[in-house]
Amino acid sequence: MSASARNIIAWVLQGLLALAFIASGARKFMDLPGTVGMFGGLGLPGALAYVVAAAEVLGGIGLLIPRFVRPAALGLVFIMIGAIIMHATKIPGGLAGGLPAIVLLLLLLVVLWLRRPVTTTV
């Protein structure tokens, strides 16, 4: 794959993922009491709701800033792994309900792969 094609695909994915994560974090902030209650109902500390909401918004913004793409994607990977684990173990509906988290995780991994450092040999 050429460098320009890789760059275009990465930017499109980064833009779509940024929209998804910023929207998800914003929804959590807009219904913070409900989000804290949901986290508490899963046996998680309510303060984690604030952390996840902030991480999703900041991670989404980070996906749009070239210097922060890889760290933002990596941080969001950990959040998606946590979401998948919660769907598999505690949230009714199991992994089928966690399908969006699985898709987001896979797309984040693609972005990490596309934005990996490339060494050129002469």
Segment 103-121 shows an average pLDDT of 92
Q: How far is the C-alpha of 50 from the C-alpha of 32, rounded, in Å?
A: 8
Note the pTM of the prediction, 2 decimals: 0.92
Q: How far is the C-alpha of 2 from the C-alpha of 10, rounded, in Å?
A: 12
The 10s digit of each residue's pLDDT in 58-74 is 999 999 999 999 999 99
